[in-house]
Amino acid sequence: MNRLKERYRAEIKDALVKEFDIKNPMLIPQIEKIVISVGAGADGSDNKIIQNMADTISLIAGQKAVVTVAKKSVAGFKVREGYPVGVKVTLRDERMYAFLDKLIAVALPRVKDFRGLPINGFDGRANYNFGLDEQLMFPEVEYDDILKTHGMNITIVTTAGDDKQAFKLLELVGLPFAKGR
């Protein structure tokens, strides 16, 4: 079992119950899923780049990524219905904890001038969103295999009741938030 998941079961649950005085064990906040997504932008018409994005995200996540396609045609963006517009992968359970552990312990410390994740990434429904500028911080990604560097959006979906509980959960898990809350 993953080290982070064991820690959640042992320490983090107890700390959340004490801080928020939770009586029902089903209401203890936990991480439900993590979604990693990449928008293709102008590169959506290039199948090689889309496939390279999918391969890179699959390598990072440890699970096959899905190419997302446009639902509607938008002339202003030069997008037709059915055109690829990005890549995403949804992680749950063991893979989710493995990715989160790798993100906290390996990838984020490798970011140059990293001062912590922004605190204003909560959406009001106890979910946290943040972006990374490039994929090269992950140890699985080799520079020579990349056709074009791209960033990614990471969404952490929690079962918390509000942003305050979600912040405390993610802080206890070990996400390095920027100082000055």
pLDDT digit string (tens) for 27-67? 888 899 999 998 877 766 677 888 888 888 888 888 999 99
pLDDT digit string (tens) for 154-164? 999 999 888 88
Contact 75, 156 (CB under 8 A): no
pLDDT digit string (tens) for 90-135? 999 888 988 888 888 888 888 788 888 888 888 888 899 988 887 7
Q: Domain 3-173 has what CATH class? A: alpha beta
pTM attached to this predicted model: 0.86
All structural domains of the chain with their residue ranges: 3-173
Q: What percentage of the chain carries pLDDT values higher than 70?
A: 90
Length of the chain counted residue by residue: 181
